[in-house]
Amino acid sequence: MKFWYCLFLLLPALAQAVPGDERILAAREAFRVGDRVAAVIADQTLAASGPHVLDVWVTYWNLRQQLGRQDSVGIPAFLAQQKNTYLAERLRGDWLRERGKQADWTDFASEYAQLEQPDTELRCYALQARLSGQAAAQALDEALPLWFEVLDLPESCKPVMDQLVASGRVQVDDIWTRIRSLLENKRYTMARSAASYLSGDSLPATRQLNDIDSKPQAYLARLPASFASSRPGRELVLFALQRLARSAPEQAAQTLEKLSDRLSPGERAYAWGQIAWQGARQHSPQALSWYALAGQDKTLRLSDEQLAWQVRAALRIRDWPRVLQAIEQMPAALASQPDWVYWRGRALASLGAADKARAQYALIAGKPNFYGNLADEELGRRIMVPPRARTVTSEEMSRVASHDGLQRALALFRLGLRFEGLREWNWTLRGMNDRQLLAAAELAQSNEIFDRAIYAAERTQDEHDFALRYLAPFRDHVLARSRQIGLDTGWVYGLMRQESRFVMNANSSAGAQGLMQLMPKTAAWVAKKIGMTDYHSSQVNTLDTNIVLGTNYMRMVMDDLDDHPVLASAAYNAGPARARRWRAAQPLEGAIYAETIPFDETRDYVKKVMSNAVYYTALFENQSQSLKDRLGVVPPRR
C-alpha cells in the first residue's frame, strides 16, 4: 500500500477536510522521505482533486527537490510569481545555498540582495562571492565580527576565516580569544580547528580536552613543571580553571592563587573573570572580590554575560554603589536593555539621585513587560490594561481573512503541518498595521490557533486589545480547578500562557507535554498523589487531565515553598530543589531573586509569568494591579 494512500485513509479524522487535502499531504510526505513529489501528485488517484490553496507549497517542494540536479529550472519564474512571500524567501535561500556550495557566483549578489533574513551560512557565501572582486577588502572588514561573535560557524565561513587570518586582520591573540570562547562553550572540535591557524600542534586531541573538562581538578593537580613555558600549556591551565569554577569557584580561586606568578597579568585577569562569573552564578559572597581582581588588568574585556552577573552579584547583597558602577562599565547597547535601565534607576534612587532615577524609569515605563511594570510603579502608576481598540469591522476581517498568506497558514495548521504554518503565518504578518494585526488575531482566535492570536496581538504599536494579547481559553476548566484548590487564576493563566501559549498538544524538546507542559514522571507522580488511580500517560495531553495535574502540581510547589508565587514559578520550571537553593541567607526582594536566578531560561520564565499574572488579574477583576506586591519578599533559606 502506498504511503500517500495510508494518509488518504486518515483524512476523515482531520477537522474540516477539503478536496485536495490528501494530495497536499502526499506531496509533503514525498518531500520528507525523498520521493519525487512530481511523480506522486501525478498519480491518477490524486490528480483529479482540483485546485488547492496549498498548491504553491507543492510547487515549492517539487522545485526544492530539483536543486543539485536541474538546478534553476522553474525557480526564477517561481520567485517572480511569489515575490515577498515566505516561500520565495525560503526557495531563494535554498537556491543561493546550493549555488554557494558549487562556488557559482553568477548573479549571486543580486539574488542575495533580495533576501530579507539571510542566515550566517548565506552571509558567508555572499562574502565569498565578493572576495575575488574589487570589494574584497571591504568584505573582510565586514567578516571580522563573525570571528569574535559567532561560535558555530558553518563550513561556508571557513574560506572567509582563512582570508581573515592570511590578511593579518586576525592576529595570534585573536585566535586564542576565539579558542577560549570555544573551550568555554565545550566546542572542542571547533577549538582545535581554530588552533590550526597557529604554528605547531597547539591543542591536544578532543578526547584529552574532554578529560580536562570532566576532571579539571585532577589535571591541575598533576601539571608538569614546564607548563608555563608555552602558550598552549598556560591556556590549558586557564581552561581547567574555568571548568573547575563551574562546580567549585572557591577551589578554582585557591588554585589560581598558587599558580598566579606563572601566568601573565592578562592571563590572570582572564581566569579571575571566569571564576568571578561562575561564583556570581552560584551566589558566592566572594564573587565581587574576584571581579575586582579581574579588573586589575584594564585591557581585559569582560563578556556581556560576565558584566551582567557582576551587577547581579551586587544586587544580591544590595550594594547599590557597586550596582551603579557595574552598569556604567557596560557597553551602551547592553546598558540600554530594560533590565539594567531599571536597576540603574534603583541604584540612583538609593543614592539620593531621585530625579535621575525617575529619568531612567521613564525610558522603559509603559511597556507591558516585567521591567516596564516595575518602572511604572516606581513612578507611582499601578499596572492597568490600556483602553481596548475599536472592534475589528467585518470589512477589516474580510480583507485579512482573504490574504493568501494567512489562508495558506490556516490550511497548514488544519492539516497538522504546524511547522510550516507557523512560518507562513509569522512571515505574512510582517509590515501589517495595527488594524490588520488585530484582525489577524481575531482570525486566529476564531480558528482556535491561540498562540498565533497572541503573536499577532502582541505586535500592535498604538491600538491594543489585551483580551487578545492575554487570551484566556478553557475558562470553565481552569476556573473550576483553580478555585477548587485555592490557586490565583491570574497566576495559573500567566504560567499556562508562558508554558504553551495554549497549544493543547505542545511538546518540548525535553519531553514536557500539553497546555501546562508536564514532564511524564511529574504527571505520573502528581496523579498518584491526588489519587487518580485510572491515570495513564496517554492522557497527559487531554484538556481536563492536563489542567488537573498541572494546577495540582502548582498547588504542591506553592505549599512546599512558603506559598510564594515567585518561588513556585521558578520551581515549576526548574524544580523545587533549585528554587529553594537560589534563596539567600537573608530575606530577598522578589525582583532581585528573579533577576539573580542562574538559569537564563528560568530567569526569563519567572519574569514573564509574574508580569502575565498581573495583566490576567487586571482583565479578570477590571482593577489596577501591583507587580511589586505580587513579587513581595522571598524568605531566607532554612
Inform me whether the pLDDT recorded for 71 exceeds 90. no
What is the DSSP-derived secondary structure letter of residue 537?
A: G
Q: What is the pLDDT of residue 11?
A: 38
Write the pLDDT tens digit of every residue in 3-49: 333 333 333 334 567 889 999 999 999 999 999 888 887 776 677 77
Inform me whether the pLDDT recorded for 576 exceeds 90. yes
**Average pLDDT value for residue range 243-249:** 98
Q: What is the pLDDT of residue 135?
A: 87
CA-based radius of gyration for the chain = 28
3-state secondary structure of 383: strand
Q: What is the pLDDT of residue 44?
A: 66
Helical segments of 485-564, H only: 489-500, 520-529, 543-560
| Contact present, 209 and 183 (Cβ < 8 Å) | yes
11-20, 253-262, 492-501, 608-617: range with lowest mean pLDDT: 11-20
Write the pLDDT tens digit of every residue in 328-354: 999 999 999 999 999 999 999 999 999
Other CB atoms within 10 Å distance of the CB of residue 425: 25
3-state secondary structure of 462: coil
Pairwise CA distance, residues 574 & 104, whole Å: 49
Inform me whether the pLDDT recorded for 63 exceeds 90. yes
What's the chain's average pLDDT? 94
Question: Matching CATH topology for 394-464 and 475-634?
Answer: no
Q: What is the pLDDT of residue 2?
A: 39
Write the pLDDT tens digit of every residue in 280-326: 999 999 999 999 999 999 899 999 999 999 999 999 999 999 999 99
**Average pLDDT value for residue range 504-524:** 92
Residues 6+ positions from 2 with CB-CB distance below 8 Å: none
Write the pLDDT tens digit of every residue in 360-408: 999 999 999 999 999 999 999 999 999 999 999 999 999 999 999 999 9
Continuous segment of H or E residues that includes residue 410: helix 404-414
Inform me whether the pLDDT recorded for 69 exceeds 80. no
2-11, 55-64, 168-177, 604-613: range with lowest mean pLDDT: 2-11
**Average pLDDT value for residue range 502-515:** 90
| Contact present, 122 and 89 (Cβ < 8 Å) | no
Q: Are strands 633-634 and 588-589 parallel, antiparallel or unpaired?
A: antiparallel
Q: What is the pLDDT of residue 201?
A: 64
| Contact present, 558 and 552 (Cβ < 8 Å) | no
Q: What is the pLDDT of residue 4?
A: 36
**Average pLDDT value for residue range 508-530:** 93
Query: Which residue out of 378, 442, 499, 595 is catalytically annotated?
Result: 499
Other CB atoms within 10 Å distance of the CB of residue 327: 22
**Domain spans of the chain, in order of start:** 3-131, 171-220+228-297, 394-464, 475-634
Pairwise CA distance, residues 335 & 566, whole Å: 25
pLDDT band at 73 (very low <50, low <70, confident <90, very high): confident
Fold of 394-464: 1.10.1240
Residue in this structure with the C-alpha cell 487518580, named with its chain if needed: 532
What Å distances lie between residue 9 and 25, 183, 412, CA to CA? 12, 52, 19
Q: What is the pLDDT of residue 329?
A: 96
Is residue 250 part of the annotated active site? The answer reads no
Task: From 192, 186, 331, 184, select the one nearest 271 (Cα to Cα).
Answer: 184
What Å distances lie between residue 216 and 242, 270, 412, 439, 616, CA to CA? 9, 17, 50, 57, 48
Inform me whether the pLDDT recorded for 629 exceeds 60. yes
Q: What is the pLDDT of residue 636?
A: 96
**Average pLDDT value for residue range 492-519:** 94
Q: What is the pLDDT of residue 6?
A: 38
**Average pLDDT value for residue range 510-522:** 93
3-state secondary structure of 588: strand
Inform me whether the pLDDT recorded for 1 exceeds 70. no
Q: What is the pLDDT of residue 72?
A: 67
How is residue 328 written as a grid cell?
556604567
Q: What is the pLDDT of residue 46?
A: 72
3-state secondary structure of 507: strand
Q: 475-634 domain in CATH 1.10.530.10? A: yes
| Contact present, 514 and 505 (Cβ < 8 Å) | yes
- Percent of the chain surpassing pLDDT 90: 89
What Å distances lie between residue 370 and 383, 623, 631, CA to CA? 11, 18, 11
Residue in this structure with the C-alpha cell 550596582, named with its chain if needed: 323
Burial of 571: CB neighbours in 10 Å, binned 0-12, 13-18, 19+: buried
Write the pLDDT tens digit of every residue in 533-570: 899 988 998 999 999 999 999 999 999 999 999 999 99
**Average pLDDT value for residue range 202-208:** 90
